[in-house]
Structure 1
């Protein structure tokens, strides 16, 4: 399991909008003295907001499981659509890319 919290996790936990989650993350970084590129750990987040770590971990696990389910579903759909398109699409009907008649500056 990952050790870093994301804006999406904060959004789900607090029920805030995504932009507010990013603002919360930047405020945590500012108060903890972290630079913009440094991630916030789950431990940092829990200590800062004084929330239970198990609740955050549960949300993260559910969020990751949901992402995996969506990804596997998309892969299955892509495989199905690719085979259907390949069967229907003729080779001689390919569109040529557009070319300008005069040079553009």
Structure 2
């Protein structure tokens, strides 16, 4: 007569998984203590981890504050600081005109 598969309750599986998560416990030692095969306990632990991951990656709505919207509406500038013998030279250039800035820089750096 063929052997019947053993089944384990959800509470038993949860207890075994919790014991596996304790510091100093290995899955193999917990499996030996409670009698299911270590490979089966590994399967339970992996399944539990995947279930938790699916719960953690749920959609969370986020609303932007007005200060963030104001920050993005400010014009972007290119700021370059060049040390010079008479002091620091600071150039602030509008980012939308970056091509003109790149043409100006070789003359400045001579």
Provide TM-score, normalisation by structure 1.
0.39
Structure having the higher Rg: 2
Provide TM-score, normalisation by structure 2.
0.38
- The structure with the largest strand share of the pair is 2
- The structure with the largest helix share of the pair is 1
